[in-house]
Chain A
Amino acid sequence: MDRRYFLKGLGTTLALPYMNSLQGDVKKDHQNNKMLFLSFGWGVTKQSWYPNSKQRGADYELSEGLKPLARHKKDFSLILGTEHQFNKQGHWGSTMFLTGANRYAVPGQSFSNTISCDQIAAQAWGANNRFSSLQFDCAKASSSGHGPGLSMSWNRSGKPMAGMQNPVLVYNKLFGNEGMSIAEKQELISKRGSSLDAILSDAKTVSKKLNSEDKDKLNEYFDSVREIELQLSKEQAWLGKAKPKAPLQEPQKGLKGYDEIKIMYDLLVAALQTDSTRVITYRQPVESLLQSLDVGITSHNMSHYGQGDRLAVSKLRDEKQSELLAYLMDRMKQVKDVNGVSLFDSTTLVYGSNISTSHTLTNCPVLVAGNKNILKLGEHKIMPNGTPLNNLWLTLLNANGLKQKSFGDSTGMIEDILV
């Protein structure tokens, strides 16, 4: 057992283990950058979402499924033709979308994952914000084609990070006092710290009687305790600082589907706008989106579209999702961040899924938008067959000043999409 697992007197002398230590990695001109990742599970309609593959570059016509984005056409690029070579799970639209991991990479385990690219940004940037990153999510994500996981994000050990599913809770986390005074909060943090400390003492006892394989297994537990300690120390550090004033009303309770996505978009805009965080991921609901459109079939049924009703629903889904994204872009263009810069221009916005259509995992539908200081926008790009999607993540990380030599199975940068 490593000494650093110990929490010593959390209430008083807690040092922030990573605060300021990574500052040097962030280049001056990237200090205002933000990253936002949205995923939509079951992919899109093949025949009507992808633009004509013969029209490439800036001179291309928007497809039927992308029409609602027409007013933003110059401000986003489609980066198509990429894939994650290892993911062969037709129902996993988000599990490995930001990681590209090989689920079989650890012998004897039927599932493993690796850090998601948003968390690279969160680790580097997070120290200066109340939340290193935020994970937005939807209820029953697997029925929306997202696959296993708790959000799009996976921590440095490849473990799932919980997402917030309820807009009211998100609002309270960002702007509310969660029903507690500072003193009460302080008390709670120190109580949680003591609980973890007790738990660790049992973990050490167990560890002693185990062989090395089982010790490895128990390390997941130690890692988890450590992560919670880090979260607590962060809460501790921000305890005295008042939360920002909410730039929007508390959301109505019980919003589902279309309205739910819209309010979540409002909330993530508010979170970035108030500098509560600079990194957000969001697994959007597809199942409840369809319910709110009253189409009468489940999203999994829709994903098996051929002709007829299911195809019509599939196209409607594309249209509504594009409509919502266009709304998000409008909002981000209207709003300025704490430094007075347009939120849109300072954010790398990624929108896509690991599933392209039905249960196909090649030619992932991916759209990037926002930060025109680093991204070449307004283009329709088709990458050569078999280009790892991780090349795109690697490119976006580096473009945002997060210097990485490689990311997962990446084979290189896609310089072509940068200015």
Chain B
Amino acid sequence: MNDLAFQLLLALDASIRLAAPLMLCAMAGIFSERSGIVDISLEGKLLASAFVAAAVTAATGSVWVGLGAAMLSSMMLSVVHGFATITHRGDQVVSGLAINMLATGFTIVVGHAVFARGGQTPALTDNQRFGPITLPFADQLNAVPVLGPIYKELLSGHSLLVYMALIAVPMTAFVLYRSRFGLRLRAVGEVPEAVDTAGISVFWLRYRALMFGGLLCGIAGAYLSTASGAGFVREMSAGKGYIALAAVIFGNWQPFRALGACFMFGFLEAMTARLEGVDFPVVGVLPTQLMQALPYLLTVLLLAGFIGRPTPPAAIGQPYVK
């Protein structure tokens, strides 16, 4: 196994870890947006649940209780979003923005008041985190050429939440395309009147879609603070919710294509970290800050129709008036 290939393997491994929270948030975004609700509050839900996961884990000592609390808190924010946009037909972008600001303020204020560490939560010990899981036979199979190292380095050794993220994608696809709920969910994002005429509650469908999304964002938040990190730091989500939103658009509101976008953005981030300060023969040192903006730039180009043409759900952004 030559060194370059091994380096690439490690970069891909890092991409999976960086893409995991994006995947969960992107699936949350797909649930919400396919039902017709714009969700820029992915960022706020991610941040709030990261805080709750770390805080509850620190208080109870159980990372599972932390995960549950994170999912619950993120779901509650989804319900707030739904209450404003579905029940009261408020502007979906304004509501999302409000939730993002609430999350920023709330996590810092409460974190400061409870833990008195300037907005951080206490550092979690190893058994208060979701540690790496070694898949069966990873070490034994390492000797197998090519496939062995791929299995050991790339697939094995991630935390449980990464595997949950990887499962969330086919699960989302299955629910969307193979279940009755999914059929209705897609319909309500395209022609809500038809769903209403069929005697199905548009409101309740959209609420459920948002709540599903909340659960997934909660797992992503828990991943940030109890698996990838060991505690909460203020502004921890750092725009990941928005990148996930970009991935949703990039994936044309389809789970597997969004997964591809998440991998691409994760890989870009992994490479950015690796290439920092590396002097290349022709181009010199790459401006890493500009590389970090690449996901956003690509999304703008895509939206403008320069790379394919996205087709958002037809009824997105419009409140339903019965």
The answer to whether A binds B is: no
